[in-house]
A = this chain, B = another copy of it.
């Protein structure tokens, strides 16, 4: 028996775009949009709402900006079943440029925030809710948060924000299932009026397992990406998630199809997934940028030296 409250959010294009400055062709973005719609996911996240005065269109593809004009050629002519989502980074978007929901293709805006920026995140979601959007607050890098500060932030979100969804984000792929269960219970306990979401990273091959653990602990918003594409080790593979969920509205087949037609090839061009340097930063609960730097160097297989260097630095 399935839980009808469960919502699946596909963030293939948004999180995958972190690996190539969002330089996917519109053709590929349309294929993903179509496949995810047909697969029955609830939300499709295409990219970021980034400020054009801060980021250059010569460097970044259209899904970095997600203006209405950028989105139109993606969604045109494809039957829309899922809601459309974009991500908003605190400080990287000009709220003045955001049109009211009635004038937008976008249904949901997810605000990414560290614990320390929670006041700004609350202001932002309240502004976006007033413009008519669904919102979420995605609290990043929770494995690095001090517990008392996290607790205070969660209580403040419960009290002051109009958002309905708060995400638990394991940015470094460092958390084990028991820690996910502990945090999910904490989030729900301190924010009884909110839905909880999970966004897991796959450094230790735990993104799917931790998503299941979150489901068991009453988390209802689940992020996945096709073939697990995403920054560094990537995310919870959508195909595994849909294979697990029992709601008959989900259909695995369009996702299998687009993996075969496009993502096998993309995985040969963009490096995400289970690479030992990402595994090492996951085990050590560190940002993957250290691993990304190693993989771009001529010492990319010198795992032992990399591990010892990180251990020594964190012991200082």
* In the complex with contacts A274-B274, A279-B239, A279-B240, A304-B256 CB distance below 8 A: yes
A237 within 8 A of B: yes
Residue from A177, A259, A260 having most chain B Cβ neighbours under 10 A: A260
A208 within 8 A of B: yes
Number of copies: 2
Say yes or no: A256 contacts B276, CB within 8 Å: yes
Partner of A256, one of B205, B260, B303: B303
| Docked CA distance A278–B304 (Å) | 30
Say yes or no: B303 contacts A259, CB within 8 Å: yes
Say yes or no: B212 contacts A253, CB within 8 Å: no
| Docked CA distance A227–B276 (Å) | 9
| Docked CA distance A253–B280 (Å) | 11
A250 within 8 A of B: no
How many residues from A make CB contacts under 8 Å with B?
Answer: 40
Say yes or no: A205 contacts B304, CB within 8 Å: no
A123 within 8 A of B: no
Least Cβ–Cβ distance between A183 and chain B, in angstroms: 16
Nearest-neighbor residue (CB-CB) of A204 within chain B: B240
Instruction: Kindly list chain B residues whose C-beta atoms are within 8 Å of the C-beta of A208.
Output: 204-206, 209
Say yes or no: A206 contacts B209, CB within 8 Å: yes
A132 within 8 A of B: no
* In the complex with contacts A212-B176, A244-B176, A264-B301 CB distance below 8 A: yes
Instruction: Kindly list chain B residues whose C-beta atoms are within 8 Å of the C-beta of A178.
Output: 216
A307 within 8 A of B: yes
Instruction: Kindly list chain B residues whose C-beta atoms are within 8 Å of the C-beta of A193.
Output: none
Nearest-neighbor residue (CB-CB) of A307 within chain B: B256
| Docked CA distance A205–B253 (Å) | 19
Excluding A176-B244, A177-B212, A243-B279, 7 further A-B contacts by CB distance (< 8 Å) are A205-B205, A205-B237, A237-B279, A252-B283, A256-B307, A257-B304, A264-B301
